[in-house]
Structure 1
Amino acid sequence: MLHYSHYLDKNSVAYLSDAIIQHYASNPVYTEIVVVCIGTNRYSGDSLGPMVGSQLLAGMKGQRHIHVYGTLDNPVHALNIHKTIAHISQKHGRAYVIAVDACLGQFYKIGTLQVVEEPLQPGVSLDKKLPPIGHIHIKGIINNYGALNHKVLEHTSLTFVQEMSGVVSRILTRAVQQISSQLQAAELPGDNSSQATR
């Protein structure tokens, strides 16, 4: 199922976070939450995920059952996503995984945030075949899809992406705070870290 709202819509945070909360509630068997924010710090248009990751990491310190992968300092991208997925599978085997990414779309949809109740297929806009990730994902349409998608990513407004990342962060913060109170009490073997980042 797809839920969407423009990032400037004042109801977008409540509406899209509720969609994530309701999806989790349909099968609440997890002991942790992992948020994987995909992208790179090399292109403004592809920095939405790492910006969100950095904001979440700063706002969720000390919450030991919430783990964030993909920040501006340590992004998750095409070159390390296989390794990251393998690490998450090993360390967080019973985690509810939320993926975050930027994407390109039709011109009139720019600025739209989408919560999709299925794994994220990263790299589709750039014709990359990367492994799916997440139980659910949120993506922001940051620019127009066309023939020169790499150039589009390079020339997307950084201010626009920063504004959108702030809304995505608020959506995820609200959702994660609600979900964390419903997590199963079981501890994972070998999990003695307070928060994971990559």
Structure 2
Amino acid sequence: MLHYCHYLEKKSVAYLADALIQHYTAHPDYTEIVVVCIGTNRYTGDSLGPIVGSQLLEKLKGQRRVHIYGTLENPVHALNLQKTLSLISQKHGRAYVIAVDACLGQFYKIGTLQVVEEPLQPGVSLDKQLPPIGHIHIKGIINNYGPLNHKVLEHTSLTFVQEMAGVIARILERVAQAIVPQLADEQALPRDSNSQATR
């Protein structure tokens, strides 16, 4: 199922957060939350995920049942995605995984945030074959899809991406606040997960 809203709409945070919370509630057998923010700090258009990750790391500091992978300092991208997924599988075997990524779309959809109730297929806009990730994902349409997608990613407004990332971070902060009290018995967590949110 697809839920979408323009990031500037007043209802965007509440509406999309509620969609994520309802999806979790239908699958409540998890002990922690993992947010994987896909992207790179090399192109402004592809920095949406890492910016979200960095903001979330600050917002959820001290929340040891939420783990963040993919920040501006330590991005998760095509070259290390498989390694990151293996690490998550080993350390967070019973985690509810939310993926975040930028994407390209039709011109009139630029600025739209989408919550999609299925795994993320990263790299589709650039014709990359990467493994799927997440139980659910959030995408932000940052620019127009076309024949020169690499150039589009390079020339996307950083201010626009930062504003959209701020909204996504607020959505996920709200989701974490709602879901954490509902997580399964913490005794089921691995011994090494007593740390703060990790990158």
TM-score, normalised to structure 1's length?
0.98
* Deviation of 1:190 (Å): 2.7
The corresponding residue for 1:26 is 26
**2:13 is paired with a residue of what secondary structure?**
helix
Structure 1 stretches lacking a partner, 5+ long: none
CA distance in 2, matches of 1:46, 1:90: 27
Q: Say which SS state the counterpart of residue 82 (structure 1) adopts.
A: helix
C-alpha contact 2:62 2:197 (8 A) present in aligned 1: no
CA distance in 2, matches of 1:53, 1:140: 14
Contact 1:68 1:195 in 2 (8 A): no
Aligned CA RMSD, in angstroms, stands at 0.8
Q: Which amino acid aligns with 1:197?
A: T
Paired with 1:33 and 1:86, the residues of 2 have a C-alpha distance of 16
Deviation at 1:126, TM superposition (A): 0.2
1:47 partner letter: S
Looking at structure 1, the residues matched to 193 and 51 of structure 2 have their Cα atoms a distance apart, in angstroms, of 26
Query: TM-score, normalization: structure 2?
Result: 0.98
Alpha-carbon offset, residue 166 of structure 1:
0.4
* Identity score, percent: 79
Confirm or deny: 8 A CA contact 1:110 1:141 kept in the other structure: yes
**Residues 68-147 of structure 1 aligned to structure 2 (within 5 Å):** 68-147=68-147
> Which residue is 1:179 aligned to?
179
Structure 2: tracts of 5 or more residues without a match? none
Q: Tell me, in whole angstroms, the C-alpha distance in 2 between the residues paired with 1:189 and 1:73.
A: 26
Structure 2 CA distance, aligned partners of 1:134 and 1:32? 13
Q: Number of aligned residue pairs: give it.
A: 198
**1:194: how far off?**
1.6
